[in-house]
Structure formats: structure tokens, C-alpha cells
């Protein structure tokens, strides 16, 4: 792998002659497999070589001796005289840039080494209510995405209680809960407030069940009323869809990937999560079929593969998708080489809508989902068939589109024996 990065044999020999040579070569292999460019090793490998010399001079004889030496080496590096560095104090991020490749290498060769990577947020109230998230996972069967919503809302509650010096859960009261919802929910939409209230109710009910609070406070949480069919789907016109697709530069890897994702969203009304989770096994090229498994409603759907969509996916697979063992279809363009996440899919839709100058409330992947359904409504599809096509969990989810069935509503407004006034 080193020969792939360095043309001069002397450089390869220099690296392998170091007592950390095997570890550095393992790091180089790992680094390139994650999709990073070989040129990015230009400043990382010299740091690792100097770190090896520095550690050896201070008595390190094996990999396990290296972690304690890291802080001293970083301090040595950023304080050493360097004519290439501007005079004055070192840049704030310089220490991080020196520490990162060293700690990445140590994670590969020192079992159990963690380092100073970005801390993972702990589950809220883990010290006082340790079994709550296990209860959600094991007893209620809550999905990982929903667990993240619970964690977000409960972190807000924990921060609110901490600001007011309320460390004991026994201090929870209807007044405190009402104050939290009033103070921390002003920026939320009505549906998001409902989600927060539901999360809070489940948490308070669990506290009472486990005997951590004297009374069940879940009944004091009042959710705002949300009326069915109160909103209008945020779809766009088909001419605007064409403008959005024309804004994609398909000469680039990013453009080829995004063009295929946009077509999947607007043609089949898929959710961003379903596009991100798409695998090579879900596409049956011999029968021109596209399968979407594990939908939100708990079932799978098979679609005929549109020639336009198929050509866009093939274009990306041939000239864009990285070489990888993963079966996922869509990947990040910037290293590390990992499958794209659903939130990135939605962000790309927002980007192209803005590039095309299309103004729509809360732009994102659901804009194209609504547009797909709107087109089916305009084509005269029954609402039941539309719900099956886009994978709605219940018919109630599809009823809102009856508000945008313009031609049908016009007939209802005219009534029998009346003529439309143009």
C-alpha cells in the first residue's frame, strides 16, 4: 500500500525502517480504504514518524507505551521553532491537527484505546433513571430514530431542570412541567410540540411506575390540539420539477448521484430514509423491478423500474459510486467513504430547490414526495391506490390530498345543473 502513495523507494524504506513502520503502514491502508486521497497523507505520515522517534527517545518500547507520550509530543510540536509558521501563538486547531493522525493510528494498534475523539452524548437522566431507554427498546419496541427523538426532548428537560437547580426528580411538579413546555417549545411547530408532550408523558409514567416520583404526572401534560387535514401538502408544479432537475450538473460525481436520488424521490414518492437505505439487491435489473423493503408501515413495495430512473442509477454506478464491499447504492462523495444518511438526502433536495429559485415552505425530500402524490391525484388515481403506491400507513394519511384535487373540487363546487364561470 505504501508503494501506491510514494513513488520513491527510499521514502517507503524510510517508513518501514521506523520501529512504528508496521503501525504506520496499517494506518495508511485504513486511511485509503475510507476513501481519503493519498495526497492527504503528505503531512500525516511525517508526523507519525517524528512521533515514533520522540516516543522511542522517551523510553517507549511497545505500542502500549505510546498513549501517555501523546500530550507531550503535541506540546513539543506546537512550541518548536518553525520558520514556515507565522510568528505569534500557534493556531487553536494546530494541536488537534497533530493529535488526530496519532490517535487514529493508536486506535488501530492499541486495544481499547479511545483518545480524545468527539464525546458521544450520553442518554439523558442515565444516572437517575438508568433503565428508561432499555424500557423503550425492549418493552415498547421503539425504533432507533424514535429513540433519538426521546433523547433530544429529554435533554431539553434535563437542561431546563439544571438551570433552575432542580437536581432531584421529586422536585417535578405540574408547575415545573408546564414551565418547561412553555419556555422550551416556543420555536417548535404544533406537531413537534405534540411529539415533545408524548415523549414527556411516557417518561413521567415510567418514573411513577418505578417509584421514582410519588405521583403520576403524565396526566398533567396537555398536548395542543392538532386538527386532521388542517394543512395543505407542500408540493411544487411539474414545470418546477423540471427546473430543479436541470439545475443538477450531471458532469460531476455529486451531480450523477443527486440526479438519481431526485428521480427516485419524485417518481415513486419515496421517503429520504428509503432512498438512503436502498441496496443493490433491491434493484432487479433482469425484470426491471425496484423493491423498497421495511417501509414505515411495516411492509414492502415493488415498483416497475422506470427507464429514466434506471439509466440515472446506472450512470452513477458506472461513473461515481466508489469501490466498496457495502451493498448500499448511494455514498458520500467526501471521505470517509460511507453510505449517505437520510438527512443528507433531504439537504440535497433543499439545495437544488434553492438553486432553481423555487420557493416552498420547509423545502426538503417530502416536497418531492408530495409532488409525486399531487401528480397522481391530478391523474385521477383513487386515494386508496395512491396510499398503497407511496406506502402510507393508513388511508387517513392520504385524505389530506383530497384538498388539492382541484378538478374534483371544482365539480363539487359547481354542483348539478350549474355551469363553471370562467
Question: Rounded distance, CA 348 to CA 355, Å?
Answer: 10
Question: Rounded distance, CA 24 to CA 34, Å?
Answer: 15
CA-based max dimension of the chain: 99
Q: What is the dihedral of CA 184, 185, 186, 188, to 10 degrees?
A: 140
Question: Rounded distance, CA 261 to CA 345, Å?
Answer: 8
Residue that the C-alpha cell 384538498 belongs to: 403
Query: SS3 helix, strand, coil % of the chain, rounded to 5?
Result: 55, 5, 40
Residue that the C-alpha cell 385521477 belongs to: 380
Query: What cell does 121 get?
Result: 452524548
Cα–Cα distances in Å, from 141 out to 80, 111, 148, 296, 323?
56, 34, 14, 14, 36
Task: Note whether 194 and 226 are within 8 A (CB).
Answer: yes
Query: What cell does 64 get?
Result: 502500549
Q: At what angle do helices 253-268 and 342-355 cross, to 10 degrees?
A: 100
Residues labelled as active-site residues: 271, 296, 366, 369, 392, 401
Q: What is the DSSP letter of 304?
A: E
Name which of 330, 389, 352 is nearest 241 in CA terms: 352
Amino acid at each position: 500500500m505504501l508503494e501506491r502513495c510514494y513513488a520513491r523507494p527510499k521514502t517507503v524504506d524510510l517508513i518501514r525502517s521506523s520501529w512504528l513502520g508496521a503501525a504506520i503502514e496499517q494506518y495508511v491502508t485504513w486511511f485509503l480504504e475510507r476513501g481519503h486521497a493519498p495526497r492527504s497523507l503528505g503531512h500525516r505520515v511525517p508526523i507519525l514518524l517524528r512521533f515514533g522517534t520522540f516516543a522511542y527517545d522517551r523510553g517507549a518500547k511497545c505500542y502500549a507505551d505510546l498513549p501517555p507520550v501523546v500530550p507531550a509530543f503535541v506540546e513539543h510540536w506546537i512550541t518548536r521553532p518553525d520558520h514556515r509558521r507565522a510568528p505569534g501563538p500557534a493556531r487553536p486547531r494546530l494541536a488537534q491537527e497533530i493529535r488526530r493522525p496519532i490517535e487514529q493510528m493508536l486506535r488501530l494498534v492499541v486495544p481499547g484505546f479511545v483518545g480524545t475523539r468527539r464525546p458521544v452524548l450520553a442518554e439523558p437522566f442515565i444516572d437517575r433513571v438508568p433503565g428508561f431507554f432499555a424500557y423503550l427498546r425492549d418493552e415498547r419496541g421503539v425504533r432507533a430514530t424514535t429513540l433519538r427523538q426521546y433523547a433530544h426532548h429529554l435533554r431539553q428537560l434535563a437542561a431546563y431542570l439544571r438551570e433552575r437547580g432542580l437536581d432531584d426528580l421529586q422536585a417535578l411538579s405540574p408547575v415545573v412541567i408546564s414551565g418547561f413546555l412553555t419556555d422550551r417549545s416556543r420555536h417548535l411547530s404544533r406537531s413537534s410540540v405534540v411529539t415533545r408532550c408524548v415523549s414527556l408523558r411516557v417518561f413521567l409514567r415510567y418514573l411513577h411506575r418505578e417509584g421514582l416520583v410519588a405521583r403520576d404526572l403524565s396526566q398533567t401534560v396537555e398536548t395542543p390540539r392538532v386538527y386532521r387535514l388542517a394543512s395543505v401538502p407542500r408540493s411544487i408544479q411539474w414545470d418546477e420539477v423540471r427546473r430543479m432537475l436541470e439545475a443538477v450538473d450531471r458532469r460531476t460525481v455529486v451531480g450523477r448521484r443527486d440526479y438519481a436520488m431526485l428521480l427516485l424521490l419524485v417518481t415513486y414518492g419515496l421517503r429520504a430514509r428509503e432512498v438512503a437505505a436502498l441496496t443493490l439487491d433491491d434493484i432487479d435489473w433482469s425484470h426491471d423491478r425496484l423493491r423498497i423493503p421495511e417501509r414505515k408501515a411495516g411492509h414492502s413495495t415493488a415498483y416497475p423500474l422506470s427507464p429514466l430512473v434506471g439509466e440515472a442509477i446506472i450512470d452513477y454506478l458506472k461513473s461515481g459510486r466508489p469501490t466498496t464491499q457495502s451493498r448500499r447504492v448511494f455514498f458520500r462523495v467526501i471521505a470517509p467513504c460511507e453510505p449517505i444518511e437520510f438527512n443528507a438526502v433531504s439537504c440535497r433536495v433543499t439545495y437544488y430547490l434553492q438553486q432553481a429559485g423555487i420557493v416552498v415552505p420547509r423545502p426538503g425530500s417530502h416536497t418531492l414526495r408530495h409532488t409525486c402524490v399531487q401528480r397522481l391525484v391530478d391523474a385521477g388515481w383513487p386515494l386508496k391506490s395512491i396510499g398503497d403506491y407511496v406506502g402510507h400507513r393508513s388511508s387517513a394519511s392520504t385524505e389530506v390530498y383530497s384538498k388539492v384535487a382541484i378538478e374534483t373540487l371544482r365539480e363539487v363546487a359547481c354542483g348539478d345543473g350549474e355551469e363553471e364561470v370562467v
